[in-house]
Amino acid sequence: MAKRKTKFVCQECGYESKKWMGKCPGCQSWNSMTEEFEEQDNKVRGFVTSVNSTNKKPQSITTIERDLEQRLSTNMIELDRVLGGGIVPGSLVLVGGDPGIGKSTLLLQVSSKLANNNHKVLYISGEESVKQTKIRADRLDITSDQLFVLAETDLEYIEKSIEEINPALVIIDSIQTVYISDITSAPGSVSQVRECTAALMRIAKTKGIAIFIVGHVTKQGAIAGPRLLEHMVDSVLYFEGERHHTYRILRAVKNRFGSTNEIGIFEMKEVGLEEVLNPSEIFLEERSQGASGSIVVASLEGTRTVLVELQALVSPTTFGNPRRMATGIDHNRVSLLMAVLEKRVGLLLQNQDAYLNVAGGVRLDEPAVDLGIAICIASSFRDQPTSPTDVAIGEIGLTGEVRRVSRIEQRVLEAAKLGFKRVIIPEKNMGGWNVPEGIKVIGVSTVKEALDTLMGG
């Protein structure tokens, strides 16, 4: 009997080697190489067949007819926005997030809403029994005879169940528990995750069934398994938020059928996740009045304007090197803006500790919040509060100028809706659009001019 050959595969990036190594040459991670058996035949590769037949000839793109297939609405406005308008039939969507964040709850609620619209949904759980899934469904008040539940991890039986039911949506919870029996490695390994995802992709494309798969995340916050997993799927959604806070943010980091800048905001309650249709009111409802180091900024998340509060605390340092800490903002950007304030405005910040926070757990990564960061740092340093009805919008350059931002009219309109009275914007954004009633717009060209306007110098 021939001896079976083995190989060592990195569980982080999928790098293969004939011998064990402590450090992976591919991703530089330590102790990630595990031993797996090499396949002696092509059973697995044959199981994952190509989506398109190889005997087809290339076609001119102008002669290809487009299918006007309508998307499936989930009846959840936030999720539809993130997906680009609904679920595309035949798409493969990967949902990742920390343990206990609410991934299974969200997908079970989506299953219920589609099932109530007479769409067959197959929910496959590899981590819970059908009775445990039923307990969770009762808590969420889910009762629909079009929602089918299966507790299975063998992909061969999963495919048979999909053929029998022919659902409009399939949910796999989670991909790390599913396995193909022809592969000798354990479920959750690089080989199993790669081949199972490829098989599910074939099922989705050939049968026109939308498939959602749940992926576990590593300690660093990335989806576990090879990076190839994210390249294979059509969309990658991350479910973010603190487990000890009620708000959750669904963000698309890849989407072949829509924008990757959209976010959906939910609130976790006893009856499940509820949509937050006006997040600005939620993020601003606990704002303290008359406190220094606070300002409201208008940030764009895709097509939506979100008003959030920036908070800063600046205090004299007791160490040789002052600390710069930021939550929800890039700390390198904070250090840069503090250098601009010191050089262009004259604030002595080199011996000050600075702590910045975005209220509500939102992450801001667009340059239009630069002016708000600079204002709240100066407000805390001078111990001068800003007006609670002011909003700051603008990007800051290294020479201290306030630069133009995009979609200024949309940002100002959202501020006016929430009752703010004054908006500080870049001078270059003045004119060419209609100012909403009840709000005053002031254009500034430098950071010093903005501080003079808000705090009198």
The annotated binding site for ATP is made up of 97-104
Using DSSP's 3-state secondary structure scheme, residue 451 falls into helix
As a whole number of angstroms, the distance between CA 235 and CA 231 comes to 9
As a whole number of angstroms, the distance between CA 355 and CA 349 comes to 12
- H or E segment at 444? strand 440-444
Residue 444, strand partner residues:
426
- The structure tokens 């601009």 sit at 340
Using DSSP's 3-state secondary structure scheme, residue 416 falls into helix
Q: Check: CB of residue 375 under 8 Å from CB of residue 295.
A: yes
| Closest alpha carbon to 341 in 291, 294, 402 | 402
CB 406: neighbour CB atoms within 10 A? 11
Amino acid symbol at 6: T
As a whole number of angstroms, the distance between CA 75 and CA 65 comes to 29
Q: Return binding residues.
A: 97-104
Q: Check: CB of residue 144 under 8 Å from CB of residue 6.
A: no
| Closest alpha carbon to 263 in 249, 253, 248, 247 | 249
As a whole number of angstroms, the distance between CA 167 and CA 214 comes to 18
As a whole number of angstroms, the distance between CA 444 and CA 441 comes to 10
Q: Check: CB of residue 34 under 8 Å from CB of residue 22.
A: no
**What letters, b where the CB count within 10 A reaches 16 and e where it falls short, cover 411-438?**
bbbbbbbeebebbbbbbebeeeeeeeee
As a whole number of angstroms, the distance between CA 220 and CA 227 comes to 14
Residue 238, strand partner residues:
96, 251
Q: Check: CB of residue 248 under 8 Å from CB of residue 117.
A: no
- H or E segment at 255? strand 247-255
List the 16-17 sheet strands across, edge first.
16-17, 6-10, 33-37
Amino acid symbol at 449: E
CB 8: neighbour CB atoms within 10 A? 17
As a whole number of angstroms, the distance between CA 186 and CA 153 comes to 12
